[in-house]
Amino acid sequence: MPLREEAAGKPALVAFSHLRWNFVTQRPQHLMARCARERQVFFVEEPIWVDDGAGAGLDLSRSPEGVVIVVPQLPPFLARDLDAVERTIASLVSAFLSEQGITRPVFWYWTPMALAWTTAIEASAVIYDCMDELSLFVGAPPQLLPREAELLFRADLVFTGGRSLFEAKSPRHSSVHLFPSSIEATHFGRARCLAEATEPADQAEIPHPRLGFFGVIDERFDVDLVAGLAVARPDWHLVLIGPVVKIDPQSLPKAKNLHFLGGKGYGELPAYLAGWDVALLPFAANDSTRFISPTKTPEYLAGGRRVVSTPINDVIEPYGRLGLVEIAQGIEDFAAAVERCLGATDSQSWLDRVDAHLAQMSWDETWRLMSNEIDAVMETKRRPARSGARSSPSVFR
């Protein structure tokens, strides 16, 4: 595919992600879509296994925002040999960058596992954007923690997606910056004014009151809480939107007032949100949720919906402390919090406080600040070369 010329003075950025571009719109998509406005962006995903006899290769596509999505396609027999997989991807990535004439790109990592894919490729800057504590997720590879230690040693900058992660990573690197989950407030703000006639067909016939959730349904989702809430309040209807990942769909609770509607596109979410009476953050208390900072918290609030959450640290601070989100634990406490939301009489003053808080946040501003940090690091690294001192490029060995 023909690729856009590099922007003047802006080396290409190559991002390595454990999440697929076309899965669910989250932090990587918001940031890289904005990055693509100022420089070439290549978004390298984890491999897929293709038994077509063609051997290993890269599948390339371009998102509407201009991000080039790079997917390694490997023969299935390699799947049993991690070293062979990593050597193959490293060779493919190196050859691809060389073919495109890309030298000394910025490397951006969401997954430390991708370090092995960039061996001996010189970079202008190395960024670690720690959006999750991946080592605590189900199925995390044993190599992840030592790879993260190596990445923290090699990185010029570390960004974190929440305060809990910031506090955990700050002692381990000299330049850690907090960039919590942000918001496209105008997009989700549409939920405040959408007419009932625009309601999605698969939600329109569900009775009120409706309690809603959108996001990935995985090991972080508190299945027991949701099931117990449905039993305790059969007059409430729970609308649950999102792909089911890493848990057996058959293990999900079943009840007449539980409505699993599957995954929806980012553009569809405001229409669903508009039809809810209360939005939910029903996260389990386990290792995988210790450091999460749910992007959906400000998204729900931008849509003008009251929110009830389990005690997630990065929801308690700042949203719980500011009285913008109800925090509750256990079925009885959670139900009582929902009742308070349904009966709230201070809607306008609450919305005013919500909007005042959200006015300080946007993905545009988050990217602007991140980009400034990257530019500053690159300028600092260029100075020794100008003065005759020996430069120290970031190279993985």
Model confidence pLDDT, tens digit, residues 177-186: 999 989 999 9
Q: How confident is the model at residue 9 (pLDDT cuts 50, 70, 90)?
A: low
Q: How confident is the model at residue 272 (pLDDT cuts 50, 70, 90)?
A: very high
Helix, strand, or coil (residue 40) = coil
Q: What is the pTM of this model?
A: 0.92
pLDDT digits (tens, 9 = 90+) for 81-102: 999 999 999 999 999 999 999 9
Q: What pLDDT is stored for residue 197 in this prediction?
A: 64
Number of Cβ atoms within 10 Å of the Cβ of 195: 7
Q: What pLDDT is stored for residue 160 in this prediction?
A: 98
Of all residues in the chain, what percent carry a pLDDT higher than 90?
A: 88
Integer angstrom CA distances of residue 68 from 4, 11, 63, 103: 10, 15, 6, 17
The gap from C-alpha 18 to its chain's centroid, in whole angstroms, comes to 10
List CB contacts of 208: < 8 A, sequence separation 6 or more: 237, 277
